[in-house]
Structure formats: structure tokens, C-alpha cells
Structure 1
Amino acid sequence: MNNAGLTKFATSLAEFALSSRMPVRWAAKPTVFRVFCGGETISESISVIEKLRESHVGAILDYSVEGQEKESDFAMTEQEIIRTIQLAKDNENIPVSCIKVSGIASNGLLEKLSTGSDLSSSDKEAAANLHQRFERICRSAYEANVPIYVDAEESWIQDAIDRLVESMMTQFNREKAIVFQTTQMFRHDRLEYLTQLILKGRREGFRIGNKIVRGAYLDKENARAAEQGYPTPIQLSKQATDDAYNAALQLCIENIDIVEICAGTHNEYSSIYLTQLLNEKGLDKNHPHVYFSQLYGMSDYMSFNLAAAGYNVSKYLPYGPVRSTLPYLIRRAKENTAIAGQMGKEYSMILKEINRRKS
């Protein structure tokens, strides 16, 4: 999608709907929702999964409901994620599952756990529920032999997520990477974090699953840092982010014996660079430890040409009730505006460059 008008409409519609509580399904579902989401349910998303399969692109079902606060909502989200795992178990077109930890715990709790704040008795109960819920989800993925990508989130709740993910890695990643961390390379500390995580995996005998992304909360991170008077955790420039991203790709390929990666990127250079790293190391294009991934509705030329060239490729396919997915749709629409220029290029560009470098 590179239609600036639809992108602007999507953002305005979604933000107005959230602020006004007006009925919006009638307008959003046939427009922006259809562009970026598979459907409101798993069953509605099946036709999109099949269409992606025809182009040799896998689908990652992403239950994109956000902002829940009640234990009953967290339990419903847990069961929905387990349903996606069970579907993936029996469907080779769904290679992995995914989870956002803030979908099964409140942001307030995650922030307290990240900062080491004192916990009330109800906080302690909620923290125990979170750990048990997350462990059940990861165990379900392990028993189904379906990897699960754990999304990265805001820096002030990420430490708690990191600890949860690492504890599950040590438990379930002994033979292969089932539980995947996500590193946002627009944070200036993430390359060192990834380096230390790989060393820890070697030392303690577990495999590292890592999804590498640039990051989705840049403005929010900088604004909060300025408001609260602490140094921003964000790189000082886009070039620094790009350099860190590509360095993370190189680090993972250098440790491919114990690292399995998903390169989540819409950046053309990084995609080409990863194909070059694979070629230089003599690894197959479809090496089982390496996946490329883009968001559904974005960078289709990149996804389909990489898949046509023989690489492992997947699309994040969000689904959920229209109103509940509005925060997700707002972020996607804004990201789409930011990369619209590169998305309008010829569909053959990536494939031509890959073939040129291999000739």
C-alpha cells in the first residue's frame, strides 16, 4: 500500500474513533482494516493465509488486541494465542506464533516489575498470574513445536519482558529456539544486550531466538524521556539505528549455530545485506534458522520477491475486533507514511539486486 490518501484517512478515522467512542466498524473494516488486518477472527483470516501461501509466504497470526486491564481479558487473550498455536501446529503455512506481553498483563504491573518497585499483595498475585500465564503459552508452543515471537514494547516495561522471555528460553530452547526475544535496534543498548544474551546462551546451554526490528515507539520514547528528565534510550540518528540493525544481523549470522533469527524489516538495504551474509557464510537461502518478515499490507514487493528467490518469508497478519485493533492500525498507518517512498518502487528491485550480488 502506498496510497497517501488512504493512509491519512486511516489515521484520522482511527484516532477520532478512539477519542469519540463513535461506531467505526462500518467505515474501518472495508478500508484500513482490510489493508492491514486478516479479519476479526481466525476463521476470517484463513483466506488471506491461503493467498499468501500461493506466493510461498507464511503468515504469523497476531491477535492485536491492546489496552486490556482485567484478569478476565488477559485469560481470554491467553486462550486466543493458544488457539493460534494449535492452528499453526497443523498448518505449515503458519510457521510461527506471536504474543505481546502487555496483552496478558497490565502496563502498570510491567512497569513496576521493570523498575523494581514495591509490590502490593494484589500486585504480587497479578505477577504470579502473569508468569503462570506466559509459561502456559510458551509450553503450548513447545509441545506443538511452534516457535513464538515475543514482541518488544516500551523501554519502561521491557526489562520485565526480557526477564520473562529469558526464563522461558532457558526452559524451552534446549533443542531448538521456541521462544524468541525481540530487540529494537533504535535503542542504543540493544546490540550489547543481544551480545550478552548470546554469550549467556552458550554458557548455559540454550538456543537464542531473536527477532530483530528497528523499533515502533520512537516519538513516544523521546517524549517521555524529555518529560521525565532522563536520557533518551533511543539512538541519536537514523543512521546509528541502521548501523546497529545491520551489526545485529551480522552478530546473529556469526553465531548461527545457536541463534535463530527473524529479520523484521521493511528496509531494502538490510534485507539485501542479510542475503549477502548468508551467501558469504555459505548458508542456504532457506536456512531454517533465518526468516525475513514484514507486516501485512506493507512492503509486499519485498516479501514476494524474497520468497520467489527462495528465502524463508512471513507476514505478520493481525486480526481481532475492529475497535480493539485501532491502536495497532494507527501505528501501522503512521509507519506506512514514513516508508511510503520506498514501498512505491518496482517490485523486481530486490530480486534483481540479490541475483546481481550472487552472480
Structure 2
Amino acid sequence: MATRVIPRRILKSVRYNTATKPLNTVQPSLTPAIAPQPLLEKPPCSAPEAAALCLDDAERLFGSVSTARLLRSAAVLHATAVGPMVDLGMWVMKSPVFQSGLPRDLVMAATRQTFFSHFCAGEDAAAAVKTIRALNDDGLRGMMVYGVEDAHDNEGCDRNLDGFLHTVSVRKLLPPSSVSFVIVKITAICPMALLERLSDLLRWQQKDPSLVLPWKQDSLPIFAESSPLYHTQKRPEPLTTEEERDLQLASQRLLQLCQKCEEANLPLLVDAEHTTVQPAIDYFTYASAIKHNKDDNPIVFGTIQTYLKDAKERLLLTTKAAEKMGVPLGFKLVRGAYMSTESKLADSFGHASPIHNTIQDTHNCFNDCSSFLLEKVADGPGSLVLATHNIESGKLVVAKAHELGVGKVKNKLEFAQLYGMSDALSYGLSNAGFQVSKYMPFGPVDMVMPYLLRRAEENRGLLAASGFDRRLMREELGRRLKAAVF
């Protein structure tokens, strides 16, 4: 995909300023670190400084989308922007009344035809292949997300690993450029209880460096001075013989998946999760990156959640250590998705939330981290995925990337949004010459929908932000109706 270069006269008028007021505004009903973007009276593309990211032409953005898909998308986004609708969905999915028999079948059938088909790539890998192929025809790429998580025993972990390995194999049915990443959740291939134990031990070692962890492999810094350690209240017991055996099995699963991805030349992106288990996830990720990331071709990517107060400090420490070891790193930057959980947990321990106090602080952290990493990958090895639904961040990154010439270097920068959301931003970034991926969960409805509903519950502001997409969709539907009538 060719990169469109912005003239110098335009670049001079674009400043990468993290103090710029974001388009997002804080809503009273939302927690402070994440908030929706308001419905703009005029899309942000009429000013000269936005010339590289044009979002004011509904026909250009949605011209390749079928009318049927536009109608369904507009309807689903309207529904998910209504809080009571999300509450009802959560109640239905959790209610014992709908867990078996005809009521369950009816709910699953209705869900399959509406929310599932909008936000998910299909019920199996074969269906995901078809969805990704159609998406690629529109100029976008797919992140293949086998939608499992939270395994509790080795049998479940082994079964999940088979699903991830099959996902890598199925990718061969698609053009290589159509799939950017395979996504894995460590919670799906390592028992949750073990991840909690590992995180406790890693946190205690941060408190007391004299603690010896004989099972620990070479890794990169996991904590910073500002990292919260309140989860571990007392010195943990060493891993038992059985736990060490389970750890070895989990390491072998991740090693097998990394090797499969390396053979397929397909990067593996490790999702971030809540802070209770994130230290162990980072440990697995960085230990694997040291083994598999060579030259300028990262195979293993980690995730930084920038709504966390210690995100930038951890990022600086990790990249510095990786440079010293000669390990090219790949990172995905996100704002975060466990806001309410983190705040409640911290409060239960009598500590302040690990999440930034204001939405502006979160924006500043995301923009600062993206600027730092853009400069790193522009001048050296490594790659960057910027997962954002925020238009202002998109504009700032586009300007910075053009200034540094990152957009012209293949596989250095990828933008990403959730499948079924922020399509205007996705198509706008693609039209501007950048690689853009959609995060595409797939799997049986009853397996994937609880995950999506939890994301909906934790990201109400994100769903409300769909107003920008909905307005542009209405414009395009109106244009088509007018053209058909007249």
C-alpha cells in the first residue's frame, strides 16, 4: 500500500502536542480514565492540518461497504450505545433462565444474527478466513483472535493451544498481507491460578530482590518504581513441585506457538489483561521475545495499557534493557480495558487506583508513548501497533509518522481498531496510506459473546463513541437512497 507524503507546508502546521485538548470529553456516568468522543458538528477533515487523515467524506470512507452491512452496522451501533441495552444483554447472558433449552437457543440465534455477526469474524477459523478476505478487499487487514481465555487446568490449556495452532495454519489459506497478527491470551494457555502465583512471586521479588526464583528465565524489566505492588500482601510460598511442572508445560505451550508463528513468519501478539496477572503475562512475553525476536523482525509483541500510571516508566525501562541486549521489540499500545475492575480491586486493598486520574492524563500517556516508540522504530529495529479509536490520537500519530517517514517503512507501524467499531477511522487511515488492522475474535457464539459483553460493560464510553461512525453511516445511506430515488 503506497504511502501518501504530506507536503512540508502542511507538516509545519501540524504539531505533535500531547497537551492538545482531545476530542473525547468526560461524561459524568463514566469513570475518569476513559470517555467517549462526542458527535462532532463537523468532521475533523476540513482543516488543512488534517489533510492526511480525511474523515469528512462518507462516500469515500464507506463506499465499498454494502448497503445491507451498513444498515446492520448502524442498527447494532445504535443499540450498543444505549446503556440499558448493554445491561439487558449482560443480564440475559448471566441469567439461569437462559442457560439451557429453548430460551438459550432463541437468545443464541438472535445474538448470532445481530451483535455477534457485527463484532465477530465467525464461529470458526474457516468463517474467519472468509470475513478477513472480504475485509482485505476493502484495504484492511485482520488480527486473528481465537476467542478463548481464562483456562483453569492443563487439559483446557492444551485444548486452547490446539485452537491457536490451528489459527496459524489456517492463515495459509489467505494472502500473506491480509493477516497482520495472531493474538494470544496467556490466560488461555496457562492456568489462571498459576498466573496469579507467578505474579505474586514476581511482585515480591520486586519488593525484596533477595528472593530467589529458581524457575525464572531471562526476561526484561516488568516493574517500575511507580508500579503497584499492593496485590501481594505477604511473602508468597515458593512454587510447589506440581506448580513448577505446570509452569514448564505452560512455557512449552507458548514456545510451540512461537515456533509455529516464526515458521509462518506471522507475528504473535500477546494481549494485556488485568494487573492481578499482568506481571506473569509480561514475564512470559519478554522471555519469549528474547528467544524469538531477531534482527529487525519481532515475532513476539507485547501490549502496554497506557491508562496505567506506570505505563510510560515501564516502557522506558523495558526498551532500554532490550536495546542493551540487542533484542528488537514489538509493542501494541492501547488505552486499556479493565478500568472498573482495577479501581474496585485497588479500593479493596485501600490503595489508589493504578489508572490515571483523568481522561486527559490517559490521552497524554498514550500520545507520549506513541511518540516515543515512533521515534524508536524510525531510527532502529522494532515495530509498533497503535490500537486506538480516538480521532485526535490518530491525527497526531499520522502527522508524527509522516514527519519521521515511518509510514513509508513496511511493517514498522500498524494501526488497529476493533472489528465492527471505528470503521471511519480505519478506512480513513487506510486511505491515508497506512497499514490498518481489525481485531477479529472468532469462535462459537457462547464462547465469544461473554468476552464481548464484558468488554461492552467495561467500555461503555467506547461504544458511545460510535456516534461519529453512526452519523457518517447515515450520511452514506442517505446519499444512496437519494441516488436511487432521483
Q: What is the TM-score of this pair, normalised by structure 2? A: 0.68
Secondary structure in structure 1 of the residue aligned to 2:420: coil
1:99 deviation in Å?
Answer: 0.3
Partner residue of 1:204 out of 325, 347, 354: 325
Structure number with the bigger relative contact order (C-alpha 8 A, sep ≥ 6) is: 2
The amino acid of 2:381's aligned partner reads I
Distance 1:200 1:15, change over 3 A: farther
| Structure 1: runs of 5+ lacking an equivalent | 349-359
CA distance in 2, matches of 1:275, 1:253: 10
The equivalent residue for 1:142 is 262
Distance 1:90 1:26, change over 3 A: closer
- Aligned runs of 1:204-353 on 2, under 5 Å? 204-256=325-377, 257-285=380-408, 287-334=410-457, 337-345=460-468, 347=472
Secondary structure in structure 2 of the residue aligned to 1:156: coil
The equivalent residue for 1:99 is 184
CA distance in 2, matches of 1:128, 1:15: 39
Distance 1:110 1:192, change over 3 A: same
Aligned residues: 348
CA distance in 2, matches of 1:6, 1:70: 34
Instruction: Say if 2:139 is the partner of 1:56.
Output: yes
The equivalent residue for 2:92 is 16
CA distance in 2, matches of 1:96, 1:72: 26
Measured on the aligned residues, the alpha-carbon RMSD in Å equals 1.9
CA distance in 1, matches of 2:398, 2:327: 26
Deviation sequence 1:181-240 (CA, Å, 0-9, x none): 000001111111111111111100110100000000000000011012233211111111
Deviation sequence 1:48-78 (CA, Å, 0-9, x none): 1122111110011101123332312111111
The equivalent residue for 2:18 is none
- Aligned runs of 1:14-53 on 2, under 5 Å? 14-20=90-96, 21-22=99-100, 23=104, 24-53=107-136
Instruction: Say if 2:250 is the partner of 1:130.
Output: yes
CA distance in 2, matches of 1:110, 1:104: 10
CA distance in 1, matches of 2:356, 2:375: 24
Is residue 14–residue 326 contact of structure 1 (8 Å, CA) maintained in 2?
A: no
Which has the larger displacement, 82-91 or 303-312?
A: 82-91
The amino acid of 2:423's aligned partner reads D
CA distance in 1, matches of 2:417, 2:322: 27
CA distance in 2, matches of 1:71, 1:274: 42
1:96 deviation in Å?
Answer: 1.3
Secondary structure in structure 2 of the residue aligned to 1:40: coil
- Aligned runs of 1:135-174 on 2, under 5 Å? 135-174=255-294
CA distance in 2, matches of 1:15, 1:326: 13
Structure (1/2) with the larger helix percentage: 1
Which has the larger displacement, 126-135 or 338-347?
A: 338-347
Distance 1:153 1:178, change over 3 A: same
Distance 1:15 1:61, change over 3 A: farther
Q: What is the TM-score of this pair, normalised by structure 1? A: 0.91
CA distance in 2, matches of 1:251, 1:19: 46
The amino acid of 1:59's aligned partner reads G
Q: Among the aligned pairs, what percent are the same residue?
A: 29
| Structure 2: runs of 5+ lacking an equivalent | 1-72, 202-235, 474-486
Deviation sequence 1:119-167 (CA, Å, 0-9, x none): 2332222211111111111111112110011000111111111111111
CA distance in 2, matches of 1:236, 1:337: 18
CA distance in 2, matches of 1:11, 1:319: 23
CA distance in 2, matches of 1:67, 1:16: 21
The amino acid of 2:321's aligned partner reads K
Secondary structure in structure 2 of the residue aligned to 1:212: strand
